């Protein structure tokens, strides 16, 4: 694997701007993924307005195939996330098809660009529903998942998402929604537990995004810290902020001995630089964002000294199922997989398992089978839904070494 180039501070700042899409680049879809019927390549890249299929029968796809919708951010602020989503799902579909398919039928993917925003995610979901899919996987961001879950429920289409906001189960009860990553109720509690029990922090700084993702985790962390009597100082920032100096200095002046940061990709990279520049030299535990190479690659390694993170997946995990996945993904795409690839690779295998047990793709039978998934091994853990259809109940602790998330331990959290 090529040694990571240090990107400039200018790029980190550029990524934090609302127009950061111009600072990132996508990659050409794999040859097995042709554009949807009637759409040019350029049209398929318009956020939420066009899709692409894994063969030439996207529109009104042949019923000889099992059609699964994929909602991924192919354009928008972080196109690499959508690319990895698509690659992971396609790799699973290819493996399954090469092994004979499901119930004697091939899996076909219909990929719609959700643009990384709520309005385009709604358009993408409507487009996917119109294709008569058996299920949708994605979107991955919590705000987008909250925006579209009702549409999928109304259409009776099962939705498998990596979105982690507690609101997806605390404020809604959608029988068609399955969460295929550990929720923030698991991940955020794990971060707080590790900070206090393993790192010995006694006065924590909590630095969170004010959006659904950050505020949901903040509530979980505060409840845990209040319960064990650990002091904390909370500071918030907004999506798109380019200067976090005042909040970071408040944490430093308060004398915190550790920080938990829970925010999106661009803001994580920016905060890493500003923590370093302002001399806040304490252990920092990041959300899963910093475990991905598309985020850690925006940071110089010294910015991440004394950083840890909680996550669902890291390529440095030496378990047999992870090492095989990493090897196969690198052979297929010449890239190392990360969280998005692993999550949506697993989503297709969850659906394969459920369809085989149901013996049909009919909605009610598929829904029942998904609810009866029983410790199916995936690369982000074992899948077994609880009463709120949360399928993953474990997290990983990593330490950032030379800018890379290195596996330390896997921890299961009881519901």
Supply the pLDDT for residue 177: 97
| pLDDT for 2 beyond 70 | no
Please tell me the distance from the alpha carbon of residue 345 to that of residue 381, in angstroms, as a whole number.
12
Of residues 77 and 323, the one with the higher pLDDT is 323
Tokens of 237: 């920032």
Supply the pLDDT for residue 33: 35
| pLDDT for 49 beyond 80 | no
| pLDDT for 51 beyond 80 | no
Radius of gyration of the chain (CA): 20
- How many Å separate Cα 14 from the centre of its chain? 22
Supply the pLDDT for residue 54: 63
Tokens of 341: 């690839």
Length of the chain: 415
Supply the pLDDT for residue 414: 63
Return the closest-CA partner of residue 395 out of 185, 221, 220.
Answer: 185
Please tell me the distance from the alpha carbon of residue 207 to that of residue 247, in angstroms, as a whole number.
8
pLDDT-derived band at 46 (thresholds 50, 70, 90) equals very low
**pLDDT per residue as tens digits for the range 212-262:** 889 989 999 999 999 999 999 999 999 999 999 999 999 999 999 999 999
Burial of 151 (0-12, 13-18, 19+ CB in 10 A): middle
Tokens of 6: 């240090």
% helix, strand, coil for the chain, step of 5: 40, 20, 40
Q: Once rounded to an integer, what is the mean pLDDT over residues 390-401?
A: 94
Q: Given phi > 0 = left and psi -120 to 50 = alpha, else beta, which region is 349?
A: alpha
Residue with tokens 């299920």: 135
pLDDT-derived band at 52 (thresholds 50, 70, 90) equals confident
Please tell me the distance from the alpha carbon of residue 383 to that of residue 414, in angstroms, as a whole number.
14
Contact 12, 269 (CB under 8 A): yes
Please tell me the distance from the alpha carbon of residue 161 to that of residue 71, in angstroms, as a whole number.
9
> What is the pTM for the complete model shown?
0.80
**pLDDT per residue as tens digits for the range 89-137:** 999 999 999 999 999 999 999 999 999 999 999 999 999 999 999 999 9
**pLDDT per residue as tens digits for the range 68-92:** 999 999 998 889 999 999 999 999 9
């Amino acid at each position: 694997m090529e040694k990571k180039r240090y990107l400039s501070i200018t790029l980190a700042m550029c990524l934090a701007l609302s127009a950061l899409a111009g600072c990132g680049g996508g990659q050409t879809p794999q040859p097995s993924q042709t554009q949807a019927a009637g759409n040019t390549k350029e049209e398929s890249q318009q956020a939420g307005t066009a899709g692409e299929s894994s063969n030439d029968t996207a529109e009104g796809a042949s019923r000889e195939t099992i059609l699964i919708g994929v909602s991924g951010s192919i354009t928008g602020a972080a196109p690499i996330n959508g690319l990895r989503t698509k690659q992971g799902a396609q790799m699973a579909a290819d493996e399954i098809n090469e092994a004979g398919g499901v119930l004697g039928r091939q899996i076909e993917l219909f990929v719609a660009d959700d643009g990384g925003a709520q309005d385009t995610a709604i358009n993408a979901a409507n487009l996917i529903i119109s294709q008569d899919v058996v299920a949708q996987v994605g979107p991955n961001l919590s705000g987008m998942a909250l925006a579209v879950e009702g549409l999928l429920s109304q259409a009776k289409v099962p939705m498998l998402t990596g979105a982690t906001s507690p609101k997806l189960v605390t404020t809604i009860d959608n029988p068609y929604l399955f969460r295929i990553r550990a929720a923030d109720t698991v991940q955020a509690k794990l971060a707080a537990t590790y900070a206090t029990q393993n790192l010995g922090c006694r006065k924590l700084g909590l630095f969170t995004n004010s959006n659904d993702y950050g505020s949901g985790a903040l509530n979980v962390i505060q409840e845990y810290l209040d319960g064990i009597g650990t002091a904390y100082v909370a500071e918030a920032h907004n999506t798109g902020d380019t200067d976090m100096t005042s909040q970071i200095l408040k944490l430093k002046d308060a004398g915190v001995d550790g920080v938990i940061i829970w925010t999106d990709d661009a803001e994580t990279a920016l905060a890493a630089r500003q923590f370093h520049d302002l001399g806040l030299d304490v252990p920092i535990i990041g959300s899963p964002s910093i475990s991905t190479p598309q985020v850690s690659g925006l940071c110089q390694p010294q910015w991440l000294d004394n950083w840890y993170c909680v996550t669902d997946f890291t390529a440095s995990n030496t378990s047999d199922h992870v090492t095989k996945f990493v090897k196969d993904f690198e052979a297929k795409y010449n890239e190392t997989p990360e969280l998005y690839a692993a999550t949506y690779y697993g989503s297709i295998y969850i659906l394969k398992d459920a369809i085989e047990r149901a013996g049909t793709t009919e909605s009610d039978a598929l829904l029942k089978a998904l609810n009866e998934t029983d410790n199916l091994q995936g690369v982000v853990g074992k899948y077994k839904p609880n009463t709120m259809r949360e399928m993953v109940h474990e997290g990983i602790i990593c330490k950032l070494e030379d800018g890379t998330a290195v596996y330390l331990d896997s921890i299961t959290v009881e519901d």
